[in-house]
Structure 1
Amino acid sequence: MTQQYVNKVDLVGRVGQTPDVRYFESGAMKTSLTLAVKPPYRSENPLWFDLELWGNIAQVAADWVQKGSTIGITGEIVFDRG
């Protein structure tokens, strides 16, 4: 029996900063932003996520997303071990 692992997360929240757009010599584009997600109970502080968007979705975010925007996004979790 083989084990299968799923690394998928769906987040809905508000953007905490103006997206940071970077262009690379290779032609690639990266948009970075932070997302605040409210926990189910109002008394708790929001959970903050650092997001990196690449390719076409990075372009969409650069064109349409701004600080305070409510967005929904699906992706995978990558832990920064540094």
Structure 2
Amino acid sequence: MNKVMLIGNVGQDPEVRYVDQGVAVARIRLATTERGYTLQNGTQVPDHTDWHNVILWRRLAEIVEKYVHKGDKLYIEGRIRYTTYDDKQGQRRYATEIWADNMEMLSPKSDNGLSSTNPE
């Protein structure tokens, strides 16, 4: 089973483009943070933040384009995809992406008017 669940904050406004026959594709960077803690011996373990590349398709992408902005808190459910590509210098690059199947907006409704979304 390939299933990922993330809760985090959007790092910058979404990048949205339209591909074959007007299909929307959105890309967001989502930051998830594990809170720091103190060990029994007094050692401080700091917060740790990971950045995730999240890809959303079709209706989810359209919703992201309209309602999601930098700083918004999201719940993302999807699967991990590993991709490779060649950069402008011809170097092979590897990327890990989360392809979202579901999204819930966790930020207060005051700015965006929506609290949760599901493409179906």
- TM-score in terms of structure 1 length: 0.85
Distance in 2 of aligned mates of 1:61 and 1:41: 30
After superposing on structure 2, the runs of 4+ consecutive aligned residues of structure 1 that deviate more than 3 Å are none
Distance in 2 of aligned mates of 1:25 and 1:50: 22
* Secondary structure of the structure 2 residue equivalent to 1:78: strand
> For the pair shown, which has the larger CA radius of gyration, 1 or 2?
2
Residue 72 of structure 2 corresponds to which residue in structure 1? 69
Aligned residue identity for 1:21 = V
Identity among equivalent pairs (%)? 32
Unaligned 5+ runs, structure 1 = 1-5
Unaligned 5+ runs, structure 2 = 38-45, 85-92, 94-120
* Secondary structure of the structure 1 residue equivalent to 2:22: coil
* Secondary structure of the structure 2 residue equivalent to 1:17: coil
If asked which structure has higher relative contact order (CA below 8 Å, sep 6+), I would say 1
Count of aligned pairs between the two proteins: 77
Cα RMSD between the aligned structures? 1.4
Q: Which one has the bigger strand percentage?
A: 2
